[in-house]
Amino acid sequence: MGYVAVSGGEQAIAASLDLTELKRVGAGRSVDVETILAALPELVAQVESEGSLWAPEVAATAVKQAQGSVEEAVFLMRAYRSTLERLYTSRVIDTDTMRVDRRISAAFKDIAGGQILGATRDYSHRLIEFELVDEAPADVRERAAELEHALAAEPSADAAEAQTHVPRVLTYLREINMVKAYPQDDTEPVDITKTPLAFPAPRSVILQALSRGLTQAVIAIGYAAIRGFGLSHPTVGELRRGTVAITIDAPGAEADATEDDAYYLGAIPVTEVESLIVSDEVDDRGNHRSALDVGYGLVVGNDESKAIAMSVLDHSLRADDVRYPTQDQEFVLYHIDGVEATGFISHLKLPHYVTFQSKLDSALRSMAEEGGEADA
């Protein structure tokens, strides 16, 4: 059997693309990118997180072009990213300097620095507010003024200073030897955008892959790891949300250049989670004891579920034990990338005429042979 070249689909494809565009514009309504940025920031952040590219205006444009499809918008972001040169690698971001706008602990009620709820839906009623149907821009401005008045407080330089120096729960647990302390590890990270996945994967690969993973996949597999298809049951030691500064060294600067000489490019929002997980630890004498281990999650944007699930999977994948799929690095890391997963699933729609014909021939031959044997 040989391949047969065919033609004639060009007009149909052009018409199909026009039909897609007509779906976007057919209702005669448009939403500008600034409105998407203002009204749908979490959707935009999800596209940036999975697209692995912080670029709000570009992500909002991708959302518009994709007609709200996250899958398509992420694909557009990854494609756009591939057209740009990487000019710099940032100085190592120390999340201790995060400008925190929310931080909570599920492990301890009273923590140094306090539990700061920030903006969260955790305590909201999940009831649809139908009055939003008729909300106009003037209503939005009026509501914003009301809320700003209600939340007004005397500006506090101390509070602003404290925002970037929030003590960690983990630091205290390490001081009292409840959690093992590790020395600073400056092993150069592996970049999964330049190096194919190989197993066992280094820690930097696991964290990068989880952080940019398909949000719902990270959450679902993290949930499975907790529910019984793994051994990680976490307590959120601390969850903090805020912005981290992106800085670069001056080109040609010495390796030990100080932060004072760095250039500040801006700040991006992140969510960080340190989960505490009771684990079996073996000491130097081979004795087993229960100890607290830490699972780490850090994602771009405000998706707390993704950050918590990432912390669970970080811990889970350290075991690299294939008895549980959630501890199997290949199972999790290969299937968690949005573009990889949706790309492969999507390709199943493309013509497979020849391979399917082959399968069909094989099935027909098998049926004929079975029939022949039955007749004999």
Partner 1 sequence: MLTRRARTEVLVESGPALAHELAALVEASCPVRVAVPPRQGLVMNQVRETARMSRFYLGEALMSECRVRIGDAEGIGVVLGADGDFARSLAVVDAAYAAKPVPEPLAEVDDRIQAAGRALERKRAAEAARIQRSRVDFDEMGGQDMSVQAVVK
Nearer to partner 1, 86 or 126 (CB): 86
Under the binding rule (CB under 8 A), the answer on residue 22 touching partner 1 is no
Nearer to partner 1, 119 or 350 (CB): 119
- Interacting stretch for partner 1, rule CB under 8 A, among 54-62, 68-76, 281-289, 345-353? 54-62
Check whether the bond before 200 is cis (ω within 30° of 0): yes
Residues numbered 237-256 forming contacts with partner 1, rule: CB under 8 A: 244-248, 250-251
Out of 5, 92, 138, 348, the only residue in the binding site for partner 1 (CB under 8 A) is: 92
Distance CA 141, CA 251 (A): 44
Calculate helix-pair angle for 304-319, 215-227, nearest 10 degrees: 60
Nearer to partner 1, 174 or 335 (CB): 174
Distance CA 325, CA 321 (A): 8
Under the binding rule (CB under 8 A), the answer on residue 94 touching partner 1 is yes
Out of 172, 223, 229, 331, the only residue in the binding site for partner 1 (CB under 8 A) is: 172
Under the binding rule (CB under 8 A), the answer on residue 305 touching partner 1 is no
Q: Residues 6 or more apart from 309 whose CB is under 8 A from it?
A: 218, 219, 221, 222, 223, 297
Out of 191, 280, 361, 370, the only residue in the binding site for partner 1 (CB under 8 A) is: 191
* Integer angstrom CA distances of residue 143 from 1, 136, 140, 152: 69, 11, 5, 14
Angle (nearest 5°) at CA 180 between 327 and 114: 100
Nearer to partner 1, 11 or 165 (CB): 165
Alpha-carbon radius of gyration of the chain: 26
Residues numbered 195-234 forming contacts with partner 1, rule: CB under 8 A: 203-205, 207-208, 211-212
- Could you tell me where the beta strands, DSSP code E, fall in 223-262? 234-248
* Integer angstrom CA distances of residue 110 from 237, 273, 278: 12, 18, 21
Out of 122, 129, 134, 154, the only residue in the binding site for partner 1 (CB under 8 A) is: 154
**Minimum distance from CB of 241 to partner 1 (Å)?**
11
Residues numbered 256-275 forming contacts with partner 1, rule: CB under 8 A: 259-268, 270, 272, 274
- On whether the CB atoms of residues 167 and 113 are closer than 8 A, the answer is yes
Residues numbered 285-304 forming contacts with partner 1, rule: CB under 8 A: 294-296, 298, 300
Under the binding rule (CB under 8 A), the answer on residue 111 touching partner 1 is yes
